[in-house]
Chain A
Amino acid sequence: MSTIRFDNVWKEYGDHIVLERITLDVESRAFIALVGPSGCGKTTFLRMLLGEEGPTRGQILVDGEPLKPEPDADRGVVFQRYSVFPHLTVLQNVLLGRELQHSKFIGQLFGAARRQAVDEAMALLAEVGLSGHESKYPAALSGGMQQRLALAQAIMRGPKILLLDEPFGALDPGIRADIHVLMRRLWNETELTVVMVTHDLSEAFRLATRVIAFERSRNRPEERERYGATISRDLEIFPRRIAAAR
């Protein structure tokens, strides 16, 4: 449950301008889909929001405060690949966030604290449809199940903002439809503000409350370096979608 504000943000790598004049207000509990051709800076935008990279100019505010310059527990993330830890079982993956939160030194919980966390994790796993797979390693799961696990793992820690980097891009259409239903439900049941990067327009319009397109306004070869992509479309979905009241 957080508002995000991009205030005239530019991102440059040396002479190469990737993004320019990005000004954007995202209201709390919105579900934003970022679309655009590849190489238009969608992922760079998400990396800035993660705190992995800072903007070259302008600033990013979350709830009115400048964004911390490194990733933290306020912002959960699901990537297309490598989002879960291969050396942990399904249950351990979901538990990890809670263990890191409450056990600063050894990162492990024991006794009653652990039992309580396990109960919570099991409930969450049931919700994302992974009951019965608790003791498997991620490699034994299908791509769709791995992404469900990654969602559960991110949500367990209770982030305010959830960032999705083409999370369902590698999945079959049928599995993708299922996981869309899950994603919609999670968005309604939690207090998340969601920002999703996707190259699938139908996915963007099916899930989001607002679809934002990035595009390079100038695309001649001699202009490519010196002009970055910017927001070319900003569409509110109609009829308006609003997250379920809590």
Chain B
Amino acid sequence: MRLMNLKPGRQARFLLAGLPFALLAIAYFVGSSVRLAENPNDKLLPALSSMAEAVKHMAFETDVRTGSILMLSDTLASLGRLLAALAISTSAALVLGIVIGLLPGANALLAPFVGVASMVPPLALLPILFIVMGLGENSKVALIVIGTLPCIIRDLTMRVLELPREQLIKAQTLGASTWQVALRVVLPQILPRLIDSLRLQLGPAWLFLIAAEAIASDAGLGYRIFLVRRYLAMDVIIPYVIWITFLAFLMDAGLRLLQRRLFPWFASVRAE
């Protein structure tokens, strides 16, 4: 049988999915034990026990100096920035995407500008943001917004333009005004596509968050890993990276679930 026609069953699929993770873990622990056997003070590939110790210290014990649980306060600080920025990005992109996609005049006015703006490397603007807005929360949130907003706008604009011409004509023959077309025809069909777009932007959003926190911050997941880098504290950095990945994965899965629950009609439209 051809390789392309061999479909793994449910159980095989599960095992196959787990395989790369298992291989990575095995490679790590083999390397770690080899290095630790040679030099018990090696910091580069810490053993599971020392990482567990570090996590216990970071996540389950109160920090003496600040009086808070560091991993918790870091997570809350980071998530607060990320969610605030994504809320601003998605709501602004929703409005602008629909306006640019539906109104030819707005398209002529704004589409080229958004196209150029999306080409500006957001990190290159970070110094400007720090100078203008200071080192506080605003500049970090602004960086994530600037980094994700133009991409979501462009994506949503394209999704609006992809709606079949027939639907927009049909709505007009039912007497719909521009506002009503936007509200009853375009908006509800764009919302599930907004979730797709947002899922794709989660990666860049985390990137900009970590970058901003690394440069100027006093709390946050990105701040912490760049802080402890000075002490080569891989036993803290690795659990933090896994935790960040887990949070991002959870957000992605949550959005996918939300899409399926709220827009049951969308799966068959996308399949077309």
Contact with A along B152-187 (1 / 0, CB 8 A): 000000000000101101111111110110011100
Q: B residues within 8 Å of A by Cβ?
A: 164, 166-167, 169-177, 179-180, 183-185, 188-189, 263-266, 268-269
Bound complex: CA A85 to CA B185 (Å): 8
Bound complex: CA A159 to CA B175 (Å): 10
The number of residues on chain A lying at the interface, defined by a beta carbon within 8 Å of a beta carbon of chain B, is 34
Specify which chain B residues have a CB less than 8 angstroms from the CB of A99 in the assembled complex.
184
Across the interface, do B174 and A97 meet the contact criterion of CB distance under 8 Å? yes
A157 within 8 A of B: yes
Q: A residues within 8 Å of B by Cβ?
A: 50, 52, 70-73, 75-77, 79, 81-87, 96-97, 99-101, 104-107, 137, 139-140, 150, 153-154, 157, 159
The answer to whether A87 and B173 touch (CB under 8 A), given A82-B164, A82-B166, is no
Instruction: List the 3 shortest-distance A-B pairs measured between CB atoms, nearest first.
Output: A73-B175, A139-B268, A82-B164
Chain B's nearest CB lies how many Å from the CB of A88?
8
The answer to whether A82 and B268 touch (CB under 8 A), given A100-B176, A157-B174, is no
Q: For A72, A75, A107, which residue has the most chain B Cβ atoms within 10 angstroms?
A: A107
Across the interface, do A81 and B164 meet the contact criterion of CB distance under 8 Å? yes
Our pick among A71, A83, A106, A137 for the contact of B172 (Cβ within 8 Å) is A71
Across the interface, do A75 and B173 meet the contact criterion of CB distance under 8 Å? yes
22 contacts between A and B (CB under 8 A): A71-B169, A73-B173, A73-B175, A75-B173, A77-B169, A77-B170, A77-B173, A79-B166, A82-B170, A83-B166, A85-B171, A86-B265, A87-B269, A96-B174, A99-B184, A100-B171, A100-B180, A101-B175, A104-B180, A105-B179, A107-B176, A154-B174
Across the interface, do B173 and A82 meet the contact criterion of CB distance under 8 Å? no
Q: For B170, B171, B266, which residue has the most chain A Cβ atoms within 10 angstroms?
A: B170
